[in-house]
Amino acid sequence: MIELKNISKSYRTDTIETLALQHMTMSVPSGEFLSIMGPSGCGKSTLLNIMGLIDEPTEGTMTLAGKEIAGYNGAQMARFRNEQLGFIFQSFHLINDLSVVDNVELPLLYRKVGGKERRRLALEALARVGLSNRAKHFPNQLSGGQKQRVAIARAIVGRPNIILADEPTGNLDSQMGDEIMEILLKLNSEIGTTIVMVTHDERMAKKTHRLVRLSDGERVS
Amino acid sequence: MITHLVRLMWNKRRANALILLEILLAFLVLFGVYAFGFYNLDRFSSPLGFSYENSVGLRLNLPEDMDSASTVSMQKRIRDEILLVSGVEQATFIGSINPFSGNMYFNGNDDNGYELRTQGFFADEHFAETMNLELREGRWFDETDVTSKYIPVLVNGALMDEFYPAANSLVDSILIIEGEKKIIGVVENFKYRSNFSENAPLTFFPTRSRDVTKYPFQMMIIRASSGRTAAIEEPIYNLVRDITKNTDVVIWNMADDRIKANKPVVVPLVVLTLISTFLLINIALGLFGVLFTQINRRRAEIGLRKAMGATPAQITTQFVLEVLLVATAALLLGVFFAVQVPILELTSIPAKFFYFGIVAAIITILLIVFLCASIPSRQAAGLQPADVLHED
């Protein structure tokens, strides 16, 4: 599902070049739930951003869902992100001025799905994460765990093949974190969605199929 | 997308209330200025109906205690001698009202008893030629009128159009204003008060229709050949002073008088235009500021939308549409208030100018809003999700 070959990423200022990722090669088969761990600044989020096409590698090639990404222009990458990828962030990134159901509809908006169908799919996604009764609420009326469930509903509403989760339980207490992890595991097992999750929590990582550890921009295990 | 944005903007209505109010007020001011401007532009563009260029006005003082024959004789002598001055082409005596100054109204009725109100203007038989009046029909006063049964009058086209819209001709019709008068002609236009005055109904009366001992017509208009108005002033002054034995002779340039007569409209129009311009600049800067602030506050949202598949063009469109939606709401509210002016006939200005004003104000506001929203929106579209999504 995801193939990275010799991916490197460096950030350059006038005086310093920082290597965030060095010659990363890895493969994530379809249906796998992969977790990535490592100390802060080791390149986990950079790797996830590159997989999510919201950052570009300095060198190397990548294949996502069987498609070679090199040479995609901005519009093609936007379309690919919309159709193939779902994102979950540590700080949820919900739009506070939109209701829960409107937040969930967001990816479908850019897929030009009709209003009624958008609403149906969004309610379906909310039901899957157990938040049907909160559809009309606004994010600031929800707990942290509920916000992350809304974010998961938003990530799955477009039925993407890959979900990229950047520390999805990082801002939650352990009980809420477990609930979120249960939902992700269920998505992976029931629908077969490929999930790549960055985490600092060893306990959460152990629940996934495979763990990749990074250090200083390199894969160490 | 529009439904989504409408919902978003509705949910942010409190945050947008001030900008909505600002646009609403700007619309109302612009609407007023445009309506006033269009109305006066329309008046300005309608013909005066006479030539004022190369003409001077003259006010003299005839000796008192002259009988009517002596008065007429002296007036004739003054005119004849003025015509002999080098550079003078034509001269005419008029009543106490002269072009670009003063007005006089009469109430009367036609021979069917239909009431009418008209401006009055007294002039002699040389007036039409001096002022280059254009006649729609009939003729100007001449020597034969002295012996006619009725006092002759001419009316202007505005009087004919307003009070006799179905008439093919008014010549030989009877008009009752201070006694029966017979219409001998219709002057196409005569908008004598200023370029911005209304082309209102007007009747020309011959100077001979009044007792010259009571109303000794002491004003003249003298037309010079091109570029000679300044040159004729001194010889005419000397000549009139010598004939009337009176130094109280005033000569003025009619072109200067026209500018003075236009000032009561031009000055407020310029002031209002300046105020509107500053208002628009203020709105433009306000919108810029609000949008830049909003974009800074919504960086994560922009990153999120791009991560969800929004293209830079869609981000630009979203922010432009958001502001346009607020502007549209303000404009709808503004139009509701603005249309009350013509519907309730709150002023004498014809309704069409208010509707033109509404359309022009809408176009101006939308254009400014669009231009002001475009730059910050493009900036928003350029944000990289990888940068902004990890700022929290």
User: Strand order in A33-37's β-sheet?
Assistant: A85-89, A162-166, A194-198, A33-37, A210-215, A218-219
- Lowest average pLDDT, out of A58-62, B138-142, B358-362, goes to A58-62
Position B220 pLDDT exceeds 90: yes
Confidence band (pLDDT; 50, 70, 90) for B152?
A: very high
Confidence band (pLDDT; 50, 70, 90) for B391?
A: low
Averaged pLDDT, B191-215: 86
Q: How many CB atoms sit inside 10 A of residue B17's CB?
A: 11
Residue ranges of domains in chain B: 2-45+262-388, 61-248
- Establish if A91 touches chain B: CB-CB under 8 angstroms: yes
pLDDT for the residue B62: 85
Chain B positions touching chain A (beta carbons under 8 Å): 1, 3-4, 7-8, 11-12, 300-301, 303-312, 314, 384-386, 389-390, 392
Contacts of A105 in chain B (CB under 8 A): 4
Mutation pick from A21, A49, A77 vs chain B, by most beta carbons of B within 10 Å, is A49
Task: Calculate what percentage of chain B has a pLDDT beyond 90.
Answer: 53
Position B139 pLDDT exceeds 80: yes
* A87 contacts B307? CB cut-off 8 A: yes
d(CA A121, CA A159): 10
pLDDT for the residue A15: 82
- Establish if A137 touches chain B: CB-CB under 8 angstroms: no
Q: What angle do CA A178, A183, A187 make, to 5 degrees?
A: 145
Domains of chain A and CATH, by start: 2-219 (3.40.50.300)
CA dihedral B348, B349, B354, B356 (to 10 degrees): 160
Instruction: Tell me the three state secondary structure of residue B130.
Output: helix
Q: At what angle do helices B254-297 and B351-381 cross, to 10 degrees?
A: 40
The Cα diameter of chain B in Å comes to 104
**Alpha-helix residue ranges (DSSP H) falling in chain B:** 2-11, 13-45, 68-83, 127-131, 157-163, 229-244, 254-297, 299-307, 312-338, 340-343, 351-381, 385-388
Q: Would you say A138 and B10 are in contact if contact means Cβ atoms under 8 Å apart?
A: no
Averaged pLDDT, B328-340: 96
Q: What is the DSSP string of B369-380?
A: HHHHHHHHHHHH
pLDDT for the residue B110: 74
As given in the structure block, the two tokens for residue A37 are 């761990």
Of B1, B4, B300, the CB nearest to A102: B4
Q: Would you say A126 and A156 are in contact if contact means Cβ atoms under 8 Å apart?
A: no
Interval A166-179: pLDDT, tens? 988 888 788 888 88
Contacts of A98 in chain B (CB under 8 A): 7-8, 11
Counting every residue, how long is chain B? 392
pLDDT for the residue B363: 96
Averaged pLDDT, B128-142: 94
Confidence band (pLDDT; 50, 70, 90) for B178?
A: confident
Chain center to CA of B23? 27
As given in the structure block, the two tokens for residue B279 are 């208002």
Position B392 pLDDT exceeds 60: no
Amino acid at A34: L
Confidence band (pLDDT; 50, 70, 90) for B89?
A: very high
Write b or e for each residue in A63-95: b if 16 or more Cβ atoms lie within 10 A of its Cβ, otherwise e: ebbeeebeebeeeebbbbbbbbbbbbbbbbbbb
CA dihedral B294, B295, B297, B299 (to 10 degrees): 160
d(CA A200, CA B171): 103
Averaged pLDDT, B138-157: 89
pLDDT for the residue B356: 96
d(CA A173, CA A146): 12
pLDDT for the residue B80: 95
Contacts of A79 in chain B (CB under 8 A): 309
Nearest chain B CA: its distance from A81 CA (Å): 5
Q: Which residues of chain A have pLDDT under 50?
A: none
For chains A and B, what is the number of CB pairs under 8 angstroms?
Answer: 72
